[in-house]
Amino acid sequence: MPTDTTAMKYDYIHHKWILQIEYLKNELGLDFIARAGGSETKAKDDLYQITVTIYDYIYTHTHNKTIMEYWLATDSLLFPVLQEALEQQARYEMKMSAEYFSLQFGTNILNGVHNPLINFRGDVSIAPKAINVLRNNKLLYSGRRVGLISEYNYITDGY
C-alpha cells in the first residue's frame, strides 16, 4: 500500500504519485504557485500534468501497464527513482515550459514558412534527465517479465 512522504503523495483516484508544492519550493527552490500566477489550484494541476507526462512515457515502454502501475504504486525501491524522474521533469518544465512549447504549431509567423513538427519540436515533452533516470533504473523495459501476476485490483491490493 502506498505511503505518502513529504515529497510525494499518492493519488488513489488516478493511481499516480504526485510531487508536493511545498516540497518543491522548500527543497528545490521551484515555486509552482508563483509560476501559476498565485493559483494553488493551477500549480497542483501543473504538477499533476508533470506526473502524467512521466507515467505516460513509462507506460509506452512497458508490455503490461497493469503490472507497471502496481509496481510504481507499491514497490518502495522504485519510489526514489520515480521521485527523481518527477523532480527532473519539474525542473525541466519550470525552465523550459515544455508543455507550452510542445503545443506550438511550427509556422514561422515572420515569413509564413511551415516547418515539420518533428523538426520544430523534436521530443520536448519529457526532460532528457528524466529519461536517463528511468532508463538507468530499467523502467523503460518493454519485454515480458516472467513469473509475475498479470492482474491486480485497486481495491483488494490497496492502491
Every domain of the chain and the residues it spans: 8-157
d(CA 97, CA 102): 9
Amino acid at 132: N
Q: State the first-to-last Cα distance of the chain, in angstroms, to the nearest integer.
A: 6
Q: Are 159 and 12 in contact (CB under 8 A)?
A: yes
Q: What is the mean pLDDT of the chain?
A: 85
Helix (H) or strand (E) holding 40: helix 40-59
Does the CA dihedral 139-142-145-151 come out positive or negative? Answer: positive
Most confidently modeled of 31-35, 65-69, 104-108, 119-123?
31-35
- Orientation of helix 128-136 relative to helix 40-59, angle to 10°: 50
**pLDDT digits over 103-157, tens only?**
555 566 566 666 665 555 455 678 889 999 999 888 887 766 655 566 777 777 7
- Inter-CA distances, 63 with 86, 134, 150, Å: 22, 15, 11
Q: pTM score, two decimals? A: 0.77
Q: Which three cell numbers stand for residue 49?
A: 500534468
Question: How much is the average pLDDT of 70-81?
Answer: 93
